[in-house]
Structure 1
Amino acid sequence: MTERPVLVVLFDGVQSLDVTGPVEVFSGAGYAAGDPAAYPLHTASLDGKPVRTTSGLTLTPDGALADAPRPHTLLVPGGEGADHPDPGVIDWLRENAPRAERLFSVCTGALLLAEAGLLDGRRATTHWAACDGFARAYPRVTVDPDPIFIRDGGVATSAGVTAGIDLALALVEEDHGRDIALTVARHLVVFLRRPGNQAQFSAQLSAQTARREPLREVQRWIAEHPDGDLSVPALAARARLSPRHFARAFRAETGVTPGRYTERVRLEHARRLLEETADGVEEISRAAGYGTPEAMRRAFVRALGIPAAEYRLRFRPPAR
């Protein structure tokens, strides 16, 4: 079996789950594939000394970055230490990271890659709370705050903490197939696997709550009636506003158009039914307001890159 060495960069202020989550995935994948050495793991700090994580845990690396073996996959975690990185770490990344076949950051580890110039001209993501500052600080990077991870050639960036597990599972599936990745996901009691372009937040969290009560009531009604008439005229009548005034006010107060908000709510409702019930696709398409399975299939492909039927196969837990 092909070995794919993984090197994890450690530094003071690293987020422990950014390290241990993906490491557990790669380690578990080796055992699931019948070859514990499928992903030889090596950790390294700049000087080889132990580092203290943001939670207070101390991690002892295998050695110094200068002595680390050349990796197939280079993992750069995030954490508070990424906000003010050691220049030595940045210099090492700038010189050595391009030699890895895959470059993989978790959370604000993307800031280290950007500081080293490794994300120039690429799409990238990071934890939602850091995206605005990320975009301002690194204008050569196209920052997308929505997806949980983004693949751009051999460079992959992921959102906060658990998104690193999703990305690691995606890489394992790419290397060894869905069955091995599914075995690891089941062992870790996580779904295999959230698509990279799945939003970091639910529809209700990703949009702001309207200030005015009529618009807040419309938001609640949409969430409770995804199969209802959610056209702008119908929603405007519920808010006792003209369609034009309603559309303007809704976008101004929530940050999204009524149509975009409705799309997110319906998609989220359909996903939940596919994951948690045994209802048929046709029944779910009606309950989520799509009307037909084909309309729901198109919506899933457009938003998540996979049809609804495949989404159910991937993300509904196996029957016990």
Structure 2
Amino acid sequence: MTRVLFLLAPGVHLLDFAGPAQVFSTAADLGLPYTQHHLGETTDIPTAQGIVLTAATDWPRSSPDDLIIVPGWRAPTLRGTGTFGAAALERLTAHHAAGGTVASVCAGADALGRAGLLDGRRCTTHHDVQDELAARHPRAIVVRDVLYVVDDRVVTSAGIASGIDLALHLVASAHGPAQAARVARAMVVYARRNGSDPQASVMLRHRDHLDDVVHRTQDALDARFSESLRLPELAAIAGTAERTLTRHFRRATGMTPLRYQQLLRVERAEHLIEQGSTHEAAARVVGFEDARMLRRLRARA
């Protein structure tokens, strides 16, 4: 079970907090092992939108499997806002030192900077305070105008709705992009995976549509991409005719179901190769008979 610990500052933006919270809540509803805890330095946390949240002040004992997220707060400037005390910042530092992941949304990056977690690391924040973040933390490498950045278990995102993208990325990293796509679909949002490696995931990149016929087909291909799935079988899964499926799939993704499956295979094979697998072994794991097809498709990509 992964505990998601939200550290809330006075003036927290509701969507900075609620976006990621909804992602992990939906993931739990779909059977993924997440629980949430809301923490603060006081029990009553006023939000930027006027609602008061209730937080616990006693931190649970965390493990490296847990995730700490610092949502952003109303910050015309970073200086003088989000005023966490030394104890809260030390919690962030200790959790990361123990092997855990620490994330932020929007101005929350400043708390990570004050905890020393941005030193020498790539990071981002809302475009309105990027320059100030760089000035306040000169050892940080601030990446501008991206949705989120991942660097050594420190994950920072741009702000407001980008917290949803950050949370979907974390779900994809822990449980695979198919599960993240399920969460995004349940939330009726476009599954995006932008950041330091923009639109890296084939699966998430081609889920930005609302065609249920194509979603059902992608669900099957995502889960069984290493199998030989013929067009008649995919059409039966989608509940439509073969020509209709091909037409819908091209319109929604710009490619055929076969091409989509090939891209899924190549992406998975590249991951295996990066982890030390040989081309031949990776090719067989993802469903190719040998490495020749894999090499041709990688060259085409």
TM (norm. structure 1) is 0.59
- Aligned residue number for residue 141 of structure 2: 142
Counterparts in 2 of 1:140 and 1:70: CA distance versus 1, 3 Å: same
Amino acid in the other structure paired with 2:54 = T
- Contact 1:197–1:304 (CA<8 Å) still a contact in 2? no
Aligned to 1:318: 211
2:2 is aligned to 4
C-alpha distance 96-313 of structure 1, shift in aligned 2 (>3 A):
closer
After superposition, the C-alpha distances for 1:184-205 in whole angstroms (9 at most, x for unaligned) are 111211111242248xxxxxxx
Q: Secondary structure at the match of 1:40?
A: strand
- Name structure 2 gaps, 5 residues minimum: 214-301
Q: Give the distance between the partners of 1:39 and 1:306, measured in 2 at CA.
A: 23
Q: Corresponding residue for 2:130?
A: 131
Say if 1:21 and 1:164, in contact at 8 Å, map to a contact too. yes
Distance 1:100 1:16 in 2: 29
Q: Is 1:39 aligned to 2:9, yes or no?
A: no
Give the Cα–Cα distance (whole angstroms) in 2 for the partners of residues 164 and 20 of structure 1.
9
C-alpha separation between the residues in 2 aligned to 1:311 and 1:73? 22
- Alpha-carbon distance between aligned partners in 1 of 2:52 and 2:160, rounded to the nearest angstrom: 18
Structure 2 counterparts to residues 7-26 of structure 1, below 5 A: 7-26=5-24
1:52-108 C-alpha deviation (Å, 9 max, x unpaired): 0111111101x214x333151011111126642133433443444533611110111
Runs of 4+ in 1 over 2 A off after TM superposition: 80-84, 86-100, 303-307, 310-320
State the AA in 1 paired with 2:151.
D
Q: Which runs of structure 2 are paired with 1:151-162 in the superposition (5 Å)?
A: 151-162=150-161
* Aligned equivalents of 1:306, 1:192: Cα separation in 2: 10
- Stretches of structure 1 that go unaligned for 5 or more consecutive residues are 199-302
**Residue number among 48, 65, 72 corresponding to 1:78 in the alignment:** 72
Find the aligned partners of 2:105 and 2:204 in 1 and give their Cα distance: 24
Q: Using the alignment, how far apart are the partners of 2:163 and 2:140 within structure 1?
A: 20
Q: What letter corresponds to residue 45 of structure 1 in structure 2?
A: G
1:315 counterpart letter in structure 2: D
Query: Offset of 1:306 from its aligned partner?
Result: 5.9
In 2, Cα distance between equivalents of 1:312 and 1:77: 25
What is the RMSD of the two structures over their aligned residues, measured on CA atoms?
2.2
Counterpart AA for 1:119: L
Question: Is the 8 Å Cα contact of residues 169 and 192 (structure 1) preserved in structure 2?
Answer: yes
Task: Rate the CA distance shift 1:176–1:318 in 2: closer, same or farther, 3 A.
Answer: farther
Deviation of the 1:318 alpha carbon = 2.8
Which residues of 2 match residues 1-320 of structure 1 at below 5 A? Answer: 3-32=1-30, 34-35=31-32, 38-47=33-42, 49-61=43-55, 63-65=56-58, 67-70=59-62, 72-80=66-74, 83=79, 84=81, 85-88=83-86, 89-99=88-98, 101-197=100-196, 304-305=199-200, 313-319=206-212
Distance 1:94 1:178, change over 3 A: closer
* Letter of the structure 2 residue corresponding to residue 68 of structure 1: P
Inter-partner Cα distance in structure 2 for 1:77 and 1:91? 17
Describe the SS at the equivalent of 1:150.
strand
- Per-residue CA shift, 1:129-153, capped at 9, x if unaligned? 0001111111000001121100002
Distance 1:76 1:21 in 2: 12
* Alpha carbons of structure 1 residues 23 and 312: separation in structure 2 relative to 1, 3 Å: closer
What percent of counterpart residues are identical?
36
Alignment CA distance shift 1:86-1:154 (3 Å): closer
The TM-score with structure 2 as length reference comes to 0.63
Distance 1:50 1:162, change over 3 A: same
